[in-house]
């Protein structure tokens, strides 16, 4: 019996030693529930256990986050109508503490996406219909806006969500030479040349792609090899697949994420490719509340695998953990993060039974300590 006890203890010790711990940052809405700001958890990639490390309080609606490449700084939108801004924080990856550095006006109402590299922080301002570019100083602080680009178009949505431009995403291409921006209000994808060192013309237009009218392009993700890109449309949840090269996107497929008999509101939200490049995942909100799984063929074409309940309401954002074994889904309206087991062979998801109870989560970001 004593030998068995020591054997079990040894196994647990080895398992714990092999566990990989990551920081999980959770962006939230602070004006719509019981959230206090930005939450930082320890995430164990072996067990999917989480433990709260720190909370950055008194941050207004940090609904989308980005972290610098060196993991020393975190940048947050402050989605607050005409009073919207962008904030910088020093990040202690060991303790999880976020120390406020400075804040700038977002130069457009309701920023909903943020991207960062060594030189710049770039915002997508949804209500304002603008892209704003801020320089980064060595201490992580933000400069005044270096450039503001205003989109001015509209499209045909009958529910009046497309009466003006609504920039919904700004994302660097895999080669870092271009910036892709989806405009939900215009039904257009913009590809911008990226000149990171410019004083006032960081972005210049390269190409504009018109998407299907009335679909609302929202988020886009690239395959790990950089060859393909996948765009989710908010209004109908459809996915467009592209071949990517040199700042250009060439459409190769359109595929639905709901059955033909589905009559409710869809509200497509987020989209990600697994690190092995074999599977794509997409979330629908509205009346659907699903996570949809597709296999990615060598040609970049998608093949439907399954659709599962997200087990909550409003799966706004989700993230595949660094180990690839778990998918974490942030539910804006049920105030929790549901953790799914992910089968790396089939791509399929099953409920792990684990939850993170946190107020109005809308963004999940992993970072190595």
Give 32's pLDDT tier (boundaries 50, 70, 90).
Answer: confident
Tokens of 200: 């006032």
Predicted local confidence at residue 45, as pLDDT:
97
Cα dihedral sign, 293-296-300-303 = negative
Distance, in Å, from the CA atom of 356 to the CA atom of 225, rounded to the nearest integer, reads 32
Least confident span in 140-144, 234-238, 261-265: 261-265
Give 4's pLDDT tier (boundaries 50, 70, 90).
Answer: low
pLDDT of 11-23, one tens digit each? 444 444 457 999 9
Would the pTM of this model clear 0.75, i.e. be above it?
yes
Distance, in Å, from the CA atom of 233 to the CA atom of 247, rounded to the nearest integer, reads 20
Q: What is the largest CA-CA distance in the chain?
A: 75
Task: Centre a 10 Å sphere on the Cβ of residue 119 and count the other Cβ atoms it contains.
Answer: 15
At residue 2, does pLDDT exceed 80?
no
Task: Centre a 10 Å sphere on the Cβ of residue 12 and count the other Cβ atoms it contains.
Answer: 10
Give 3's pLDDT tier (boundaries 50, 70, 90).
Answer: low
Distance, in Å, from the CA atom of 280 to the CA atom of 364, rounded to the nearest integer, reads 17
pLDDT of 300-317, one tens digit each? 999 999 999 999 999 999
Q: Which of 247, 229, 235 is nearest to 302 (CA)?
A: 229
pLDDT of 50-68, one tens digit each? 999 999 999 999 999 999 9
Name the average pLDDT for the chain.
95
Higher pLDDT, 3 or 107: 107
Task: Centre a 10 Å sphere on the Cβ of residue 297 and count the other Cβ atoms it contains.
Answer: 12
Distance, in Å, from the CA atom of 107 to the CA atom of 245, rounded to the nearest integer, reads 31
Higher pLDDT, 106 or 260: 106
pLDDT-above-90 percentage for the chain: 93
Distance, in Å, from the CA atom of 257 to the CA atom of 285, rounded to the nearest integer, reads 12
Q: Of the CATH numbers 2.130.10.10, 2.40.50.140, 3.30.420.40, 1.20.200.10, which one belongs to the domain with range 20-367? A: 2.130.10.10
């Amino acid at each position: 019996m004593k030998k068995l006890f020591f054997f079990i203890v040894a196994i647990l010790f080895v398992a714990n030693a092999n566990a990989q711990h990551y920081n999980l940052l959770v962006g939230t809405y602070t004006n719509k529930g019981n959230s206090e700001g930005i939450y930082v958890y320890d995430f164990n990639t072996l067990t999917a256990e989480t433990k709260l490390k720190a909370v950055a309080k008194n941050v207004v609606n940090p609904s989308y986050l980005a972290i610098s490449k060196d993991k020393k700084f975190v940048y947050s939108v402050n989605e607050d109508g005409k009073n919207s801004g962008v904030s910088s924080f020093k990040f202690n990856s060991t303790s999880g503490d976020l120390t406020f550095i400075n804040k700038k006006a977002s130069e457009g109402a309701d920023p909903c996406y943020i991207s960062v590299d060594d030189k710049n922080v770039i915002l997508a301002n949804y209500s304002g219909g603008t892209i704003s570019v801020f320089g980064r100083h060595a201490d992580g602080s933000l400069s005044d806006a270096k450039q503001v680009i205003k989109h001015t178009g509209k499209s045909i949505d009958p529910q009046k969500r497309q009466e003006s431009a609504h920039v919904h995403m700004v994302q660097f291409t895999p080669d870092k030479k271009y910036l892709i921006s989806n405009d939900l209000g215009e039904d257009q994808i913009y590809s911008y040349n990226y000149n990171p060192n410019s004083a006032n013309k960081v972005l210049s237009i390269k190409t504009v792609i018109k998407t299907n009218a009335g679909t609302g392009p929202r988020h886009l993700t690239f395959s790990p090899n950089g060859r393909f890109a996948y765009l989710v449309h908010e209004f109908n949840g459809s996915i467009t697949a592209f071949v990517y090269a040199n700042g250009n996107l060439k459409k190769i497929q359109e595929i639905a994420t709901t059955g033909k008999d589905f009559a409710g509101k869809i509200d497509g939200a987020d989209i990600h490719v697994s690190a092995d490049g074999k599977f794509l995942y997409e979330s629908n909100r509205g009346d659907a509340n699903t996570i949809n799984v597709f296999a990615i063929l060598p040609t970049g074409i998608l093949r439907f695998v399954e659709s599962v309940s997200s087990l909550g309401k409003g799966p706004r954002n989700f993230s595949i953990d660094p180990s690839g074994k778990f998918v974490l889904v942030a539910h804006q309206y049920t105030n929790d993060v549901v953790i799914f087991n992910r089968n790396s062979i089939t791509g399929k998801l099953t409920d792990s039974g684990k939850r993170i109870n946190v107020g109005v989560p809308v963004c999940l970001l992993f970072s190595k300590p």
